[in-house]
Amino acid sequence: MRVAGKAYRTIWPSSTGASFEIIDQTRLPHEFEILSIRTVDEAARAIKIMQVRGAPLIGVTAAYGLALAMNADPSDANLETACALLAATRPTAVNLQWALAAMRQYLLALPASKRGTAGFAHAAAVAEQDVDLCEAIGEHGLQLIREMARAKGDRIHILTHCNAGWLATVDWGTATAPIYKAHNEGIDLHVWVDETRPRNQGASLTAWELGQHGVPHTIIVDNAGGHLMQHGMVDMVMVGTDRTSASGDVCNKIGTYLKALAAMDNGVPFFVAAPSPSIDFAIEDGVAEIPIETRSAREITHMTGRSADGRIETVCLTPSGSEALNYAFDVTPARLVTGLITERGVIEANRTALAKTFPEPVAKVREPS
Ligand code: MRU
């Protein structure tokens, strides 16, 4: 996607093959900064402190991180150590485990002397595959938006939560891919952007990337969605997912569940863009089984922004002594999901539809050519 008119992806290998580059998402929307990641420790840190975030991008970053580890020391022992280090960075998005498993299997089959170079090529294949999956989701979701625009004959209003945009993937995004495609072909649409407390991925990232692409949008507080839906101001909800269970329960950024409840109560379709690496076929009951990340209370008690004189400042919002509890994700039961937009089409959120669409549950990474 474009930043100030120039095409970017969120992650790419350096020309020397000794490092990879990322957009530092902790600096957005105020500063656009590219970071070089040179070691597996730096890759793990970038995921942990959310310089990169979003389920698909976390997976791709881990893949490149493993390649760096293999450059440094291609032994089996180091491969296992690096996998464990990266796997421990964030617990909820299953794409991380998926990418690590795919990379590990590929690398273990190679002689140690080849693992560095081949690791980079395979990580690039994981990245390319992510772009393809998002594009396919974009095409299927575009059909939904086209149909809705035709039926309504007026501007379409889509509500989204968190950032399931291109910043959360390698390119296109999941929930935003249909939006970008619809906007590109001239469909009149507008996006309600949930600010997504406490880290404000909606206000800081989704709003920024939609703005860069010229998509009309309005930031709303997280609690406004239900009100907008009651007043006929939302035509559809489109969100991403960090892990979807085999039965179609959707884990996504905290607050997604409340949007789904409001959508159900108001007859607003609730769609989830779900590339196959984010589907966990080993889990049945999402509410009971998906591990929910708890992050630092400081993300709730403090907020960072730009002051009037241009400085980036962090301020405290809460009384000293008050505790804060920061669950980062919640699970929306399948019964509240109108449809999953997968790379293979829009399907019902249930076990039968998922099993039929993905008879070989674990998506393979295409071999580098
Ligand atoms: O904590 P984050 O910013 O990594 O959470 C991101 C989300 O919840 C996204 O909605 C999800 O990863 C889907 S991204 C295509």
Query: 73-119 pLDDT, tens per residue?
Result: 999 999 999 999 999 999 999 999 999 999 999 999 999 999 999 99
Residue 125 has pLDDT above 70, yes or no: yes
Stated pTM of the model: 0.96
Q: What six digits make up the tokens of 135? A: 């594009």
Model confidence at 270: pLDDT above 90: yes
Whether residue 29 is preceded by a cis peptide bond, meaning omega within 30 degrees of 0, is: yes
pLDDT at 365 over 80: no
Report CA(239)–ligand 1 centroid distance (Å).
Answer: 9
Which helix (DSSP H) or strand (DSSP E) does residue 315 occupy? strand 312-316
pLDDT the model gives residue 163: 98
Residue nearest to atom 15 of ligand 1 (CA): 164
For residue 300, the Cα-to-chain-centroid distance in whole angstroms is 21
Which residue of 53, 131, 299 sits with most ligand 1 atoms within 8 Å of its CB, as the best mutation to test the pocket? 53
Q: Are strands 329-332 and 326-327 parallel, antiparallel or unpaired?
A: unpaired
Q: How far, in Å, from the CA of 174 to the mean position of ligand 1?
A: 10
Nearest CA residue ID for atom 5, ligand 1: 54
Q: Report the pLDDT value the prediction gives residue 15, as an integer from 0 to 100.
A: 86
Among this protein's residues, is 242 annotated catalytic?
Answer: yes
Point out which residues pair with 271 in neighbouring strands.
238, 339
Q: Measure the CA–CA gap between 114 and 340, rounded to whole angstroms.
A: 39
pLDDT at 362 > cutoff 90: no
Which string of DSSP letters, residue by residue, matches 76-137?
HHHHHHHHHHHHTS-SS-HHHHHHHHHHHHHHHTS-GGGHHHHHHHHHHHHHHHHHHHHHHH
pLDDT level of residue 2 (50, 70, 90 thresholds) = confident
Ligand 1 binding pocket includes 252 (Cβ within 6 Å): yes
Task: Quote the longest CA-to-CA distance of the chain.
Answer: 63
For 25-61, give one letter per residue: b (16+ CB within 10 A) or e.
bbbbbeeeeebebeebbbbbebbeebbbbbbbbbbbb
Residue 207: band (very low, low, confident or very high) from pLDDT cuts 50, 70, 90: very high
Q: What is the mean pLDDT of residues 285-307?
A: 97
Q: What is the mean pLDDT of the chain?
A: 96
Q: 276 in ligand 1 pocket by Cβ < 6 Å?
A: no
Question: What is the Cα gyration radius of the chain?
Answer: 20
pLDDT at 279 over 90: yes
- What is the rounded distance in angstroms from the CA atom of residue 17 to the CA atom of residue 116? 9
Mean pLDDT, residues 2-12 taken together:
93
Distance 251 CA to ligand 1 centre (A): 10
Return the percentage of the chain with pLDDT > 90, whole number: 95
Q: What is the pLDDT of residue 333?
A: 98
The reply to whether ligand 1 has any atom less than 6 angstroms from the CB of 168 is yes
Query: Which has the closest alpha carbon to 334: 277, 283, 266, 292?
Result: 283
CB distance 54 to ligand 1 below 6 Å: yes
Q: Are 196 and 163 in contact (CB under 8 A)?
A: yes
Ligand 1 atom 8 nearest Cα: 253
| The pLDDT value given to residue 1 | 83
Given 130, 242, 249, 330, the catalytic residue: 242
Q: Give the 3-state secondary structure of 177-241.
A: HHHHHHHHCCCCEEEEEECCCCCCHHHHHHHHHHHHHCCCEEEECHHHHHHHHHCCCCCEEEECC
